[in-house]
Amino acid sequence: MSASGSTSGSTTLRPDLAAIAAMIRPGTRILDVGCGDGALLEHLVRTKHVDGRGIELSQQNVNACVARGLSVMQGDADTDLVEYPSGAFDAVILSNTIQATEKPRAVLEHLLRIGRRTAVSLPNFGYWKVRGSLVFKGKMPRTKNLDNSWFDTPNIHLCTLSDFLDLTRLCGAVVVEAHALNENGETRPMKTDAWGPNLLAPGAIFLLKKS
Amino acid sequence: MSEAPEFLRPVKVHAADKGQTVTFGPDKPLKLDCGKSLSPFTVAYMTYGTLNAAKSNAVLVCHALTGDQFVASENPVTGKPGWWTTTVGPGKPIDTDRFFVICANVIGGCMGSTGPASIDPATAKPYGLSFPLITIRDMVRAQGMLVEHLGIAKLLAVVGGSMGGMQALQWAAAYPERVRAVMPIASAARHSAQNIAFHEVGRQAIMADPDWRGGEYQLHNVSPSKGLAVARMAAHITYLSETALQRKFGRSLQDREALSFQFAPDFQIESYLHHQGRSFVDRFDANSYLYITRAMDYFDLAADHDGKLGHAFGAHPPRFCIISFTSDWLFPPAENKSVAHALNAVAANVSFVEIKSDKGHDAFLLDEPEMFQAVKGFLNALADS
C-alpha cells in the first residue's frame, strides 16, 4: 500500500483524490483504505464533516494521520478488512492502492461488503505510453503514476481499466460513476463500454456498488 | 487534606518533591470489586504543569506494575529520575508546559497510597494479607475520586503503558463521559494465560521465602527480599526481547576471563538480573507485588460486558489511540490490535499504531522516536480540536 502515500497538503489534493472527494456526500461515514498521510481524509472531515476512518500500512504515514487528529488503524488491507463489519460505512475509498495489494479480488469484495459505495482510483496499464514503452522499448514501463523499477515496485498487480472493469463484474459490482484522468490531472466522465479511455487515460476513478 | 506521603523506607533524597496525598474519610469509602470497602484510604500523587482556567488540559498518567507517581521527577526513595522522563516533561511528547499531568500511586501500592503495608486503623497493625484483594477497576475508582477532588470534571486524556494501559482502558469503560481520549500503550484488555503464569511464578517465589512469614513480615522486622528479587528477575525477562538480550549481553562473561565452574554469576545477563532483583527490593513491598499482580490477572474488560469488548465503552466512547511494539511478547501487537478492532466494530474513534522495535515490552519506557511522535501528535491534535 505504500503506493498510496499522497504528499499533497490539505489545500491541493492529488487529482484522483479530488475526484474521489467530489463523490463523497457530506456527513457520511467513510473508510479510506491505504489513506497515506491522511490528506484526503482530513479534507473530507474539514469540508464535508464526514466521520472518517483510515487504514494505512506505513508507520510514518500513520503518525502523520494521528497528528492530524484522524482515526487510523495501522494495518494491511490484505489481512485486516475481514475485521470490519458489513455495511459499516457509507463509502469506502481505495485510492491508487489496489495494484499494490496481494489479493485485489478479495480486497475489492471486502470493500463492496463493508461500504454501501466503493470509490476506487487506479493507474491504467493500458495507457498508450505504457503500451508504447513495452512494445517499442521492450522495457517495463515507468510513468509518472508508476515510477518504480520492476524489481522494487510495490505495484504487484497492475491492470488496464478494461481488466479492472472485468473484475468489478466478477465481484458482482455495478459502476455508479466513472471518470477518466488525463496527464494534467483533469477528470472527465467516461463510458465504461468505450475503448478510448483504456488507451488514452493514464488513470481512472470508479464509484461502485454491489449489484 | 494534602501533605507529603509517608513511604515504607526512609526517604533517601530529601531534595526531591515528595508530592501530595489526599485521604478520603469514612464518608467516602472506596467500594471494592471484592465486595469490601476500604476506608479511610489515601491516594499519593504528583502533578506537573499548570491546570488551565477551563480545567481542560489535564492528562492522567497511569503507572505500570512496579511504577509510582514519580513519572517526571526524581524518585525520593531511589534518587533516580522519574520513570517516564523520556515522554513526560517540559517540551516532551506529554508536554508539561501545555498539559497539567497527574500521576497517582495505585491503591495497593507502596509509595504513599493505601496498600497492604499501610497501617489498618482497626488493628493499628499493617494490613498484610488482611488487605482486601483489589482490581484494576478499584484502582481506577480511586483515581476517579482523586480527579474529582482536584476539581476536574473531564480529563483531556488518560495515558498509560502496560498495567497503566489497562487503567486507561478501564477509565474509558467506567467513566466515558469524564475523559476525552485514552491512550493505552503496550497493553491489553485482559491478562493472558501466559501473563498469569509468569505472575504466579513471582508470587510463589515471594511466598516461598521463609521471611515472608505468611505476609506478616513487617511485624517481625524482616523482609522476603530473596523471594521478591527472584520474582523481579523472572518478570524482568518478560519485559525484554530475545533480540535485545542477545544484543546487550550475548554470552559475555562478567568480570572474568573464563567460566568459573561454580554457581556464582559467570554471565553478564545473570549479573544484570541479580542487580535488577537487588535494586527492586529496596523500593518495593513484597505484599504490594502480590496484590498488584493479582489485580492484573483479574483484568478482563470483555468479561465484564458479556464477553463483548466493544460493549464496554457505552454509546459515546472517548477517542482511543492504541500503541503497541512489534517485539512485545508480553502484550503482543495482536492483543492490542484486537482491542482496536473491537472498538472499530462499534464505530469508536480509534487509532492503532504498531511500532517496529526489538526492545520488547519495556520499549514504551525507552527512547522510541516513533512512539514519541504518535503520543505528541495525538495529544496535540486532541487539545487543538
Q: What is the DSSP string of B108-163?
A: T-SSSS--TTSEETTTTEE-GGGSPP--HHHHHHHHHHHHHHTT-SSEEEEEEETH
Q: What's the CATH code of the domain at A66? A: 3.40.50.150
Query: Has residue B2 been placed in a domain?
Result: no
> Among the three residues B266, B293, B320, which one is the final residue of a domain in this structure?
B293
Catalytic residue among B63, B191, B199, B361: B361
Predicted-complex ipTM score: 0.88
Query: Has residue B10 been placed in a domain?
Result: no
Angle at B201 between CA B296 and CA B194, to 5 degrees: 55
Please report the pLDDT score of residue B66 as a whole number: 96
Catalytic residue among B73, B162, B223, B327: B162
Question: Do B135 and B67 share a structural domain?
Answer: yes
Question: Do B289 and B214 share a structural domain?
Answer: yes
Strand partners, B126: B119
Residues 6 or more apart whose Cβ sits within 8 Å of residue B275: none
Residues 6 or more apart whose Cβ sits within 8 Å of residue B230: B202, B205, B277
Q: Which residue of A has its CA nearest to B383?
A: A69
HSE on the CB side for A89, CA within 13 Å? 30
> B350: distance to nearest CA of chain A, Å?
5
- B162 catalytic per annotation: yes
Q: What is the largest CA-CA distance in chain B?
A: 67
Question: Do B176 and B58 share a structural domain?
Answer: yes
- B328 catalytic per annotation: yes
d(CA A50, CA B290): 48
pLDDT band at A3 (very low <50, low <70, confident <90, very high): very low
Question: Do B137 and B43 share a structural domain?
Answer: yes
What pTM was computed for the model? 0.93
Three-class SS state of A3:
helix
Query: Has residue B5 been placed in a domain?
Result: no
What do you get for the CA distance between the two ends of chain A, in Å? 27
Question: Do B358 and B289 share a structural domain?
Answer: no
Question: Do B76 and B130 share a structural domain?
Answer: yes
Query: Has residue B135 been placed in a domain?
Result: yes
The residue segments making up the domain with residue A200 are 2-210
Question: Do B156 and B27 share a structural domain?
Answer: yes
Q: Which residues of chain B have pLDDT under 50?
A: none
Grid cell locating A211: 449489484
Q: What's the CATH code of the domain at B262? A: 1.10.1740.110
Question: Do B167 and B62 share a structural domain?
Answer: yes
* Omega cis (within 30) before B40: yes
Question: Do B249 and B152 share a structural domain?
Answer: no
What do you get for the CA distance between the two ends of chain B, in Å? 35
Please tell me which of the candidates B347, B355, B382 has its beta carbon nearest to residue A59.
B355
Q: In chain B, which residues have their Cβ closer than 8 Å to the Cβ of A69?
A: 381-382, 384-385
Query: Has residue B213 been placed in a domain?
Result: yes
pLDDT band at A69 (very low <50, low <70, confident <90, very high): very high
Query: Does the beta-carbon distance from B341 to A69 stay under 8 Å?
Result: no
**CB count, 10 Å around CB of A208?**
23
Please tell me which of the candidates A29, A51, A63 has its beta carbon nearest to residue B373.
A63
d(CA B5, CA B113): 8
Strand partners, A55: A33, A73
Grid cell locating A55: 487504514
d(CA A112, CA A109): 5
Q: Looking at the 3D structure of chain B, how many domains does it have?
A: 2
Residues A114-165 have pLDDT tens digits of: 999 999 999 999 999 999 999 999 999 988 778 899 999 999 999 999 999 9
Question: Do B207 and B344 share a structural domain?
Answer: no
Question: Do B283 and B320 share a structural domain?
Answer: no
Grid cell locating A15: 487529482
Catalytic residue among B95, B209, B266, B328: B328
Grid cell locating B6: 509517608
Q: In chain B, which residues have their Cβ closer than 8 Å to the Cβ of A84?
A: 344-345
In the stretch 356-385 of chain B, residues with CB closer than 8 A to chain A read 356, 370, 373-374, 376-378, 380-382, 384-385
Query: Has residue B147 been placed in a domain?
Result: yes
Please report the pLDDT score of residue B15 as a whole number: 73
> A200: distance to nearest CA of chain B, Å?
40
Residue A20 one-letter amino acid = I
The pairing of beta strand B179-185 with beta strand B319-325: parallel
Rg (CA), chain A: 16
Mean pLDDT of A189-203: 94
Please report the pLDDT score of residue B12 as a whole number: 62
Residue B198 one-letter amino acid = F
Q: What is the rounded average pLDDT for all residues in chain A? A: 92
Residue bearing cell 514519580: B70
Please report the pLDDT score of residue B2 as a whole number: 62
B172-207 as b/e: b if 16+ CB within 10 A: bbbbbebbbbbbbbbbbbbbeeebeebbeebbebbe
Whether A60 shows a pLDDT value over 70: the answer reads: yes
Question: Do B201 and B165 share a structural domain?
Answer: no
Q: H-helix or E-strand containing A66?
A: helix A59-67
Q: Looking at the 3D structure of chain A, how many domains does it have?
A: 1
The answer to whether A175 and A192 are in contact (CB under 8 A) is yes
The residue segments making up the domain with residue B281 are 195-293
Query: Has residue B13 been placed in a domain?
Result: no
> Among the three residues B236, B259, B293, which one is the final residue of a domain in this structure?
B293
> Among the three residues B293, B323, B339, which one is the final residue of a domain in this structure?
B293
What does DSSP assign to residue B101? E
Residue B226 one-letter amino acid = K
Q: In chain A, which residues have their Cβ closer than 8 Å to the Cβ of B343?
A: none
> A49: distance to nearest CA of chain B, Å?
13
Query: Has residue B152 been placed in a domain?
Result: yes
Please report the pLDDT score of residue B10 as a whole number: 62
> Which backbone phi and psi does B300 adopt, to 5 degrees?
-155, 90
Please tell me which of the candidates A66, A70, A84 has its beta carbon nearest to residue B344.
A84
